[in-house]
Structure 1
Amino acid sequence: MLVQPPAKSLVGGSERAPRGQVDSRMKLRDNGAVSEQNPITLDEARRPRPASAALTKTGGFLAGFTHTLQPYIGCRFGCEYCYVKALSVHQFHQPPLAWGEYVHPRTGIAEKLRKELARAQARGELDALAIFMSSATDPYQAAERRWRLSRACLEVFADYPPGLLMVQTRSPLVADDFARLARLGTRCWLSFTVETDRDEVRRALTPRCPAIAQRLETIAAARAHGLNVQVAVSPCLPYSDVETFGAQLVELAGRVVVDTYTSGDGQAGIRTARTGVAGRYAAQGWGDWRSEGAAQALYAWLSARIGARAGWSQAGFSALARSVTCVAPAQTAVVS
């Protein structure tokens, strides 16, 4: 389950952008929660941290990808269900802050990336790299508007294109870099998170995330720019109905991956059980958060219409990477 978000994040003007374009006036708010109850200063919560390296070898849920790339430490979207809260990068973060209250730009990461990719090219390994940007942060959260670290990395990738670059986000800010993504052609996929088509669900569970309508507009604009787009329904949240949501996904995306809390949090739902997700579901009357029935129904509907372009959980996320790295898929339960 590759998730990042919760902060009222996107605000647009009263006029809408022309069809196929994203309104450049939409702003990502950076609503920090470092204040009276928490004396730690905003400077400490946002202080840059120089990158010692750029690429990190990966496996596990992302088996098939060779490396991950994290331009930032932390994520101000602060999703209630984000699995990163259980990882050491957050558990041992200093100063101690709640998930979503800090983001540290990894300054110098583009320069590190250039050196690492140049070495890979010299060894003849560039085409075998499958890079996931990012698994523990959102590369296009509000901080990117100031620091442009993700953009700087894309400039490096233009000079040293890997076999595959998967850019994972839920932020319309990525529209600023459509032209840079397009330079990579078929080597690049934009994976955009859309967990539901019901914005009231988004507001109740991930209030800091961009509105659903703004995400759908961004995806449509990305396709209009000729980008390869995958939609990550990850995790699958309560949606309207299979045909309505499914039809939107089929129209917008080249691929769709459906995931759940139990299949995708890395510990069969144990990590999610330690969060406030169960309480949120109970308060909203959404039923058992562990149930995969709605997600399985959506996946089955999509599979019947787009075939292999629909993916389930880990195997779905890594399918494109495996075509580059030739890593065999992990054994997963059959979803009916």
Structure 2
Amino acid sequence: MKPSIETKTARSILTKGTGFLHGYSHTLNPYAGCAFGCSYCYVRRMPISLFREEDWGAWVDIKENATDLVKKEIPKARKKGRVSIFMSSSTDPYQPVEHKTHLTRGLLEAMIEESPDFLFLQTRSPLVTRDIDLLKQFKNKILVSMTVETDLESVRKIFAPSAPPINARLKAIQELRSEDIPVQAAVAPLLPCSEQFPLKLAEVTDRLTLDDFFMGDGSGGKRTEQLGIRKLFEENGLLDWYDRQAYLKIKRRLQEVFPENSIYISQEGFYPPKGSDC
């Protein structure tokens, strides 16, 4: 079922970075809502979703004036200090509607003109490769973070059936890397995976972040509990993976194929990289 799409006029587009993302001066969400509708998304338990009559994943609001706002708000924010932006914290900037709107592309074009000191671009969509021409212009002032929470399509279809296929995401990471665009794989949140997962990641990236529900949902796992995710694990015979120590097993496997300084855990992997001066 296609989500309902509405166009809205936003009052502002940059939001002060707080909580899990306090390492950034601002967050930027070009859309409200997300058509990927992943079952484990912590945004489901936030006011933007709770106060909406439609289910998460069934609606998307397009912030039609986002580009004009960012051109005005970045210079204003810069007067108060360095500007580092996390895009996006409560939506995916490359969800399906972006094929039509080109809103995220317009924001990138605007940020090339009014450049932030650093841009962290978080997505799970291979559509990000469409904008390689723009991403290259940010040079070392950007990091693209591609969510790859498992290597098993059967698992993805249980937890995130509307999200892009895993192999397409791995291919996108490889393509970005081949163009010298800073990129990482975000195994976040970790889902059940095969023993070959670390090797598959090593083929396409030299940087990754490992996170799980308990560290990364902003509430110590409480939001995830409220979503009933444990039941999904149980119903599919995967309950052993719903454990606070499960990530350590995968971390050990990753350490066998990645240098220690290439593996980041939870929040540190979403901070501006060292050397970005943010």
TM > 0.5: yes
Match of residue 66 from structure 2: 109
CA distance in 1 between counterparts of 2:50 and 2:216 reads 20
CA distance in 1 between counterparts of 2:2 and 2:231 reads 23
Counterpart residue identity of residue 220, structure 2: A
- Cα deviation digits, residues 138-196 of structure 1 (max 9, x gap): 00001111111111110011112212101100111111111111110000111000001
- Cα deviation digits, residues 202-226 of structure 1 (max 9, x gap): 1122111111111111111111122
SS in 1 for 2:85: strand
How do 1:9-24 residues align onto structure 2 when only pairs under 5 Å count?
none
Match of residue 318 from structure 1: 271
Structure 2 residue corresponding to 1:205, chosen from 159, 164, 177: 159
Q: Return closer, same or farther for 1:262/1:124 CA change in 2, 3 Å cut-off.
A: closer
SS in 2 for 1:285: coil
Over the aligned positions, Cα root-mean-square deviation in angstroms equals 1.8
Which has the higher mean CA deviation after the structures are superposed, 294-303 or 153-162?
294-303
Counterpart residue identity of residue 294, structure 1: A
Match of residue 56 from structure 2: 99
Q: Return closer, same or farther for 1:240/1:289 CA change in 2, 3 Å cut-off.
A: closer
Counterpart residue identity of residue 137, structure 1: T
Counterpart residue identity of residue 68, structure 2: E
Match of residue 122 from structure 2: 168
Contact 1:188 1:228 in 2 (8 A): yes
SS in 2 for 1:167: strand
Structure 2 unmatched runs, 5+: none
Tell me, yes or no, if structure 1 residue 225 matches structure 2 residue 182: no
Q: Return closer, same or farther for 1:235/1:129 CA change in 2, 3 Å cut-off.
A: same
Tell me, yes or no, if structure 1 residue 47 matches structure 2 residue 6: yes
Counterpart residue identity of residue 254, structure 2: L
Match of residue 42 from structure 2: 83
Tell me, yes or no, if structure 1 residue 57 matches structure 2 residue 16: yes
CA distance in 2 between counterparts of 1:307 and 1:80 reads 31
CA distance in 1 between counterparts of 2:18 and 2:275 reads 12
Contact 2:149 2:186 in 1 (8 A): yes
- Cα deviation digits, residues 249-278 of structure 1 (max 9, x gap): 233223211011111111111111111312
- Residue 124 of structure 1 deviates from its aligned partner by 7.6
Contact 1:250 1:306 in 2 (8 A): no
CA distance in 2 between counterparts of 1:249 and 1:299 reads 13
Match of residue 28 from structure 2: 69
Counterpart residue identity of residue 317, structure 1: F
- Cα deviation digits, residues 45-70 of structure 1 (max 9, x gap): 31111121111001211121111000
Which has the higher mean CA deviation after the structures are superposed, 225-234 or 289-298?
289-298
Counterpart residue identity of residue 306, structure 1: P
Structure 1 unmatched runs, 5+: 1-30, 34-44, 326-336
Q: Return closer, same or farther for 1:322/1:279 CA change in 2, 3 Å cut-off.
A: farther
Paired-residue identity, %: 36
Question: How does the TM-score come out when normalised to structure 2?
Answer: 0.94
SS in 2 for 1:186: coil
CA distance in 2 between counterparts of 1:80 and 1:194 reads 15
How do 1:194-273 residues align onto structure 2 when only pairs under 5 Å count?
194-241=148-195, 244-273=196-225
Structure 1 residue corresponding to 2:228, chosen from 276, 298, 317: 276
Which aligned runs of 4 or more in structure 1 are off by greater than 6 angstroms?
none
Larger Rg: 1
- Residue 313 of structure 1 deviates from its aligned partner by 0.8
Counterpart residue identity of residue 261, structure 2: A
SS in 2 for 1:324: coil
- Cα deviation digits, residues 75-114 of structure 1 (max 9, x gap): 0100111000111111223xx1000000010011110000
Match of residue 309 from structure 1: 262
SS in 2 for 1:196: coil
How do 1:175-194 residues align onto structure 2 when only pairs under 5 Å count?
175-194=129-148
Q: Return closer, same or farther for 1:114/1:319 CA change in 2, 3 Å cut-off.
A: closer
SS in 1 for 2:208: strand
